[in-house]
Amino acid sequence: STDKTLDRDCTTLSRHVLQQLQSFGPNAQDLSALMNRIALAGKLIARRFSRAGLMEDVLGFTGEVNVQGESVKKMDIYANEVFISVFKQSGLVCRLASEEMEKPYYIPENCPIGRYTLLYDPIDGSSNTDINLSLGSIFSIRQQEGTDSDGEAKDLLTNGRKQLAAGYIIYGPSTMLVYSMGTGVHFFTLDPSLGEFILTEENVKIPEHGSVYSVNEGNFWQWDESYREYIRYVHRTEGYTARYSGAMVSDIHRTLVQGGVFLYPGTLQKPEGKLRLLYESAPLAFLIEQAGGRATTGKMEILDVVPKQLHQRTPLIIGSKQDVAKVESFLKKED
Ligand code: AHM
Ligand code: MG
């Protein structure tokens, strides 16, 4: 009915965040303003992606190499700057830390009143840009602790349970924003005609088990034998399907909706794997736990890992409880 459609169209992200925040006390208004800014960043990035090929400076590389030793794409830079500009006028964020910046970026006009830090991966899976496949942005909000007078951001080196909010934006056939503030996981879909993220599913729960496993099997001979044993088990057992998109956000989104497991184990060359804890694995672990799933390094829960440095990497096994436990059962045999 018209009433129902209207009600749905009016459940915007900002309204939902305010409802969620009723129990948040003094941080409530701040978090709501922060989430609105993140939504704006998502809309700006989505708009640019939708015009890839039609306008300049969307496709391709800049010719530079980032702190991680990876070639930088034009969209990596654009998206990194979008988050900075969006938070410049917020008054709330004094510091941003991302995959594209070796040191955190300070917004002097917001310090010291800005009480929050934004950790983010501006474009996750950026190699999908040039081939028109889904990709994402990942974000995490933490309260700034202490004064950070030396500019080293040591207070960020704490476990993932300290996250106030976390989520991702997925740029696919539609643009979606998925977030949690520790009170469930919620899906929003961008209605381009309104320019608003509209609630499309509330309190999402991940299935206990799913039939999809998601891993870059090209690294098979680079892994520890225990992971090979798991893959052999999957190959021998009926009912498993492989899916791997090259953008973790897409793979995690599918895992959240349909169940299963996503893995990025350590390799011979990269014993800690590829994924960064603070702005990739920890925010996604926060979401998946909130949805009733699990995320582990194989040795401990991702949310309990205390990093030693900002860009620290960890192996990641994340998804449905039963499927994560299945992978672990092979790892335990090795210990
Ligand atoms: P990025 O943030 O630099 O794009 O790297 C992260 C991405 C993940 O989205 C994806 O799952 C993984 O790297 C793919 O890496 P690989 O090609 O080694 O499998
Ligand atoms: Mg990434």
Span 148-183, pLDDT tens digits: 767 778 888 999 999 999 999 999 999 999 999 999
Ligand lying nearest the CA atom of residue 127? 1
- The Å distance, Cα 246 to ligand 1 centre, comes to 6
Is residue 245 within 6 Å of ligand 1 at its C-beta? no
CA atoms 48, 52, 55, 58: torsion sign: positive
Residue identifier of the C-alpha nearest atom 7 of ligand 1: 125
The answer on whether 121 is annotated among ligand-binding residues is: yes
Ligand lying nearest the CA atom of residue 274? 1
Residue identifier of the C-alpha nearest atom 14 of ligand 1: 246
Mean pLDDT of 208-217: 98
Across the strands, what pairs with 143?
Answer: 116
Query: Of 186, 143, 142, 182, nearest to 21 (Cα)?
Result: 182
Helix, strand, coil: what percent of the chain each, to 5?
A: 40, 25, 35
The answer on whether 280 is annotated among ligand-binding residues is: yes
Check pLDDT > 80 for residue 146: no
pLDDT tens, residue by residue, 23-62: 777 778 888 999 999 999 999 999 999 988 888 778 888 8
The residue type found at 60 is G
The pLDDT, as a whole number, for residue 204 is 98
Contacts of residue 255, defined as CB under 8 A and 6 or more positions apart, other chains included, come to 206, 210, 212, 214, 261, 262, 288, 293, 318, 319, 320
Q: Per mean pLDDT, which range of 91-95, 164-168, 187-191, 302-306 is the poorest?
A: 91-95
Is residue 248 within 6 Å of ligand 1 at its C-beta? yes
pLDDT tens, residue by residue, 271-316: 999 999 999 999 999 999 999 999 999 999 999 999 999 999 999 9
Mean pLDDT of 214-218: 97
Is-contact 165 141, C-beta < 8 A? Answer: yes
Average pLDDT, the chain: 92
Is residue 196 within 6 Å of ligand 1 at its C-beta? no
3 state SS of 56:
coil
DSSP 27: G
DSSP 330: H
The pLDDT, as a whole number, for residue 334 is 46
The answer on whether 217 is annotated among ligand-binding residues is: no
Check pLDDT > 70 for residue 332: no
Q: Which residue would you say has higher pLDDT here, 76 or 185?
A: 185
Is-contact 247 134, C-beta < 8 A? Answer: yes
In terms of phi and psi (left: phi > 0; alpha: psi -120 to 50; beta: otherwise), the region of 142 is beta
> Which residue among 275, 284, 314 is best mutated to probe the pocket of ligand 1, counting the most ligand atoms within 8 A of its Cβ?
275
- The Å distance, Cα 245 to ligand 1 centre, comes to 9
The answer on whether 123 is annotated among ligand-binding residues is: yes
Residue identifier of the C-alpha nearest atom 17 of ligand 1: 246
Indicate the pTM of the whole model: 0.95
Reported as a pLDDT band with limits 50, 70 and 90, residue 333 is low
Give the atom of ligand 1 at the shortest distance from the alpha carbon of 99.
2
Check pLDDT > 80 for residue 67: no
The answer, yes or no, to whether the previous bond of 207 is cis (omega within 30 of 0) is: no
- Count Cβ atoms below 10 Å from residue 201 Cβ, excluding itself: 13
The answer on whether 57 is annotated among ligand-binding residues is: no
The pLDDT, as a whole number, for residue 24 is 73
Mean pLDDT of 72-87: 92
Give the separation between CA 130 and CA 229, rounded to whole angstroms: 35
Mean pLDDT of 100-104: 89
